[in-house]
Amino acid sequence: MCITLLEEVNEQVKNGNFVALSIITKACGSSPRGEGTMMGVLRDGTVIGTIGGGAVEDEIIKSSIEAIETQRSGRYEYSLNEANKELNMVCGGNIEVYIKVLMPKRKLLIVGGGHIALPLHFIANVLGYDIVVFEDREEYCNWERFKLADELLLGDIKENLKKYPINNQCSIVIITRGHFHDYEALKTVIDTEANYIGMIGSKVKVKKTIYKLLDEGFNKDLLNKVYAPIGIELGGERPEDIALSIMAEISLVINNGKLAHKKIL
């Protein structure tokens, strides 16, 4: 039972979902379940397994959702007696539950393995991202080049993007070697759950791509979520400068940040 529950919890996290794993760490007196009993709860209240059912489980589910919202793990105590009016239980026990918030790891999908991709993958690694590189040229998609990548997908970029499980923990940077490949990549990922989609290019090139997709029937609101030309204007023309501006923009977007200095004077 525990192995199956943990496997399902792990699968949910891999798919980009936050899960609160509740574990009974102490059970005194009469309680629904014993120490070591586990239950998983998703942000929407979906439950994996059970910790005993009834009113106490409902309270643990509420605590789990709150823990996910605040992204803070912690220990909780529940008294199962008449004195606890909220639970309205008379079995006379007490339980302690540790709720561990399991957070999916952020992924950076780098579409194109050229000169900007290299420093980009170094910076993303420092920030704790899993890094996936999509390329159709072997000389730009190998482990010697991308030493810190987690996945290298060599082959047809469009087809590999179609097959990849893109969820809300994925940020996508489109920096291929040409306008056509950028267009094909954007068209493939535009309707995914990615938390960020950015595409490189001049304002003229970007405008042509966006209008082309509008002519093909893509929704304006959908296209409006694309960050293009990509990156914050930090200055600098080197690949390293551009890579930094891209990661800064991604951090700003997914963390709901502000473009503001903190200097006092």
My answer on whether 42 and 127 are in the same domain is no
CATH at residue 184: 3.40.50.720
User: Which of 69, 102, 135 lies at the terminal end of a domain, its last residue?
Assistant: 102
Do 58 and 180 reside in the same domain of the chain? no
Same domain, 114 and 231: yes
If asked whether residues 143 and 79 sit together in one domain, one would say no
Comparing 3 with 223, the larger pLDDT belongs to 223
- Confirm if 181 and 112 have CB atoms less than 8 A apart: yes
As to burial, measured by CB atoms within 10 angstroms (0-12 exposed, 13-18 middle, 19+ buried), residue 252 is: middle
Strand order, beta sheet including 130-135? 151-154, 130-135, 107-111, 170-174, 196-199, 226-227
The closest alpha carbon to 85, from 55, 60, 64, belongs to 55
Cβ neighbours of residue 106 closer than 8 Å, sequence gap 6 or more: 128, 129, 130, 169, 170, 171, 254
Is there a single domain that holds both residue 32 and residue 129? no
pLDDT in the model for residue 2: 63
Q: Which of 65, 84, 102 is the endpoint of a domain?
A: 102
Show the CA angle centred on residue 251, arms to residues 248 and 253, nearest 5°. Answer: 110
Task: Reduce the DSSP state of residue 7 to 3 states and report it.
Answer: helix
Same domain, 121 and 198: yes
pLDDT for res 175: 96
Q: In this structure, are 72 and 184 located in the same domain? A: no
pLDDT at residue 109, rounded to an integer: 98
Please indicate, yes or no, whether residues 45 and 127 belong to a single structural domain of this protein: no
Confidence (pLDDT) at 35: 83
Domain boundary among 43, 78, 102: 102
212, 126: one domain: yes
Angle between helices 203-215 and 179-189 (to 10 degrees): 50
Strand, coil or helix: what is 22?
strand
Same domain for 200 and 135? yes
- What range does the domain containing 123 cover? 107-254
Whether 131 and 144 map to the same domain: the answer is yes
263 occurs within a structural domain: no
Question: End-to-end alpha-carbon separation of the chain, Å?
Answer: 60
150 belongs to a structural domain: yes
Model pLDDT for residues 95-152, shown as the tens digit of each residue: 889 999 998 889 999 999 999 999 999 999 999 999 999 999 999 999 999 999 999 9
